């Protein structure tokens, strides 16, 4: 049973549609008339299936999804992009299909695309299940809606049928689909490698599913601050997938983005945030990038599809180049868009990761890249290297022009945060080793 199946009566709810016990037993209805081709020759297959009547809105008894196959079948395992459409759209045709294919066009030929459909934009049928969850009261914070369960079951079916790489499943969406991607994806670091959202129609769904608390006041006691840190960091959940979030400073739906940023900052979650004055439109509506100064382009071209679920990633906080969100038509900015990394070592005894800034040659459009970013760095999604509470860790941070060293103990959330590391275009290696405990002298 998959981790997301815990506490869910999923096999009962979707037994007629997407029981994931055996991919060969799922009752779907593909046929030759449901196949088409993309402009570059990729095969698209439409699958239809029943859903329990009323579970996703009045009169809804069936649903469908599209699978776009990889252009090459040479890879034994195929990475998968999952795209959730906007409100008022659907997976069948129109702008949302183009947007989903647009995400695929930036990926390699080995990638596949899954485009589920939802029947309605509100209530039980939409991707933004937080509205339905709020109606269910406190229980709604932990109980996934039928739509959420169907998305996860559909992903599992595609994974089994098409030999998808479980370490390279990516979730993305625009508007309502962006809200749904945060809600479905943030607390499922056991499934998704990374998340990419454009002008999400609110981030409250993701905050609800992660059960992220409001910040504690400065007057809070040390115990209250420790409790807050454990909650806001998602202690007990798989590390949340890194999030790339492109929003708008003059979009009413973006009103809660500062709260998402605060929770990501305090909880040490990886968030790359960019914004510009383009209303509630995705990146395709941005036609003159140079009007947005130096910052947002790096957000759009962030290499989220190279992040893997089975590899650690660094969280950058309090970076010297972070901009402050201001809701005004002329404002734009970025948070954490310039940093890049490469995992070097992740063993039980040592962890190593290279940190650097993106080079302008890696971006398709001109953008100002600062010569240096100074930021706090917190490794997350560690694989073999484990951080043990109350233990001490020795660290070094070295390149040809920097050499730092010290010791550090984990915080109340059992995270190691290395303060104010200088990051330049020249790679620097952060190495961490556990310090053996001193023997107790009788």
State the pLDDT confidence band at 90, using cuts at 50, 70 and 90.
confident
The pLDDT tens digits of the residues spanning 365-405 come to: 667 788 999 999 999 999 999 999 999 999 999 999 999 99
Q: What percent of the chain has pLDDT over 90?
A: 54
pLDDT band of 15, cuts 50, 70, 90: very low
List pLDDT tens digits, range 166-189: 999 999 999 999 999 999 999 999
Residue 117 has pLDDT above 70, yes or no: yes
Average pLDDT over every residue of 323-337: 76
The answer to whether the CB of 371 falls within 8 A of the CB of 377 is no
Backbone region of residue 402 per phi and psi (left: phi > 0; alpha: psi in -120 to 50; beta: other values): beta
The reply to whether the predicted model has a pTM over 0.85 is: yes
What integer pLDDT is reported at residue 77 of this predicted model?
94
Choose the weakest-confidence range: 62-71, 380-389, 417-426: 62-71
SS3 381: coil
CA distance 214 to 207: 10
Span 233-276, pLDDT tens digits: 999 899 999 999 998 888 888 888 889 999 999 999 999 998 87
Q: Residue 23 above 60 pLDDT?
A: no
Q: What's the whole-number average pLDDT of the chain?
A: 84
Report, as an integer, the average pLDDT of 416-433: 97
Beta strands across the sheet bearing 403-408: 339-346, 350-357, 428-434, 393-398, 403-408
Compute the average pLDDT of residues 312-337.
Answer: 84
Strands 62-68 and 350-357: unpaired
pLDDT for the residue numbered 377: 98
pLDDT for residue 358: 93
| pLDDT at residue 105, as a whole number | 84
Give the span between the Cα atoms of 257 and 179, in whole angstroms: 11
Domains of the chain, first to last: 3-338 (3.40.50.1820)
User: What number is the average pLDDT over the span 130-149?
Assistant: 72
pLDDT at 31: 44
Mean pLDDT of the 157-164 span: 94
pLDDT at 53 > cutoff 80: yes
């Amino acid at each position: 049973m998959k981790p997301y199946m815990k506490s869910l009566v999923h096999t009962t709810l979707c037994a007629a549609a997407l029981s994931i016990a055996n991919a060969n037993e799922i009752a779907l209805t593909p046929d030759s008339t449901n196949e088409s081709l993309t402009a570059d020759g990729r095969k698209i297959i439409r699958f239809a299936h029943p859903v329990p009547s009323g579970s996703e809105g009045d009169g809804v008894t069936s649903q469908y999804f599209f699978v776009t196959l990889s252009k090459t079948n040479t890879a034994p395992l195929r990475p998968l992009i999952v795209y959730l459409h906007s409100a008022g759209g659907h997976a069948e045709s129109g702008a949302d299909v183009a947007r989903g294919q647009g995400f695929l066009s930036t990926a390699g030929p080995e990638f596949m695309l899954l485009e589920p459909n939802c029947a309605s934009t509100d209530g039980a049928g939409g991707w933004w299940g937080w509205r339905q969850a709020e109606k269910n009261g406190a229980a709604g914070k932990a109980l996934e809606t039928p739509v959420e369960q169907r998305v996860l079951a559909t992903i599992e079916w595609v994974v089994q049928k098409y030999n998808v790489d479980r370490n390279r499943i990516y979730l993305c969406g625009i508007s309502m689909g962006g809200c749904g991607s945060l809600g479905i994806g943030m607390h499922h670091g056991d499934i998704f490698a990374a998340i990419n959202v454009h002008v999400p129609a609110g981030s409250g769904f993701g905050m609800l599913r992660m059960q992220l608390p409001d910040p504690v006041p400065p007057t809070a006691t040390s115990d209250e601050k420790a409790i807050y840190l454990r909650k806001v960091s998602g202690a007990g959940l798989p590390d949340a997938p890194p999030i790339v979030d492109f929003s708008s400073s003059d979009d009413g739906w973006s009103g809660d983005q500062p709260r998402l940023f605060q929770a990501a900052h305090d909880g040490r979650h990886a968030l790359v945030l960019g914004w510009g004055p383009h209303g509630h439109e995705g990146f395709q509506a941005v036609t003159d990038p140079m009007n947005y100064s130096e910052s947002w382009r790096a957000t759009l071209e962030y290499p989220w599809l190279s992040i893997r679920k089975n590899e650690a990633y660094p969280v950058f906080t309090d970076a010297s180049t972070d901009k402050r969100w201001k809701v005004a038509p002329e404002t734009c900015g970025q948070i954490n868009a310039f940093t890049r990394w490469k995992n070097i070592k992740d063993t039980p005894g040592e962890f190593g990761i290279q940190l650097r800034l993106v080079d302008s040659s890696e971006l398709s459009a001109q953008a100002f890249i600062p010569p240096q970013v100074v930021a706090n760095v917190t490794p997350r999604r560690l694989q073999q290297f484990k951080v043990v509470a109350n233990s001490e860790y020795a660290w070094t941070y070295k390149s040809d022009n920097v050499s730092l060293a010290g010791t550090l103990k984990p915080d109340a959330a059992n995270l190691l945060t290395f303060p104010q590391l200088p990051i330049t275009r020249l790679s620097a290696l952060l190495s961490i080793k556990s310090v053996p405990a001193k023997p107790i002298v009788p």
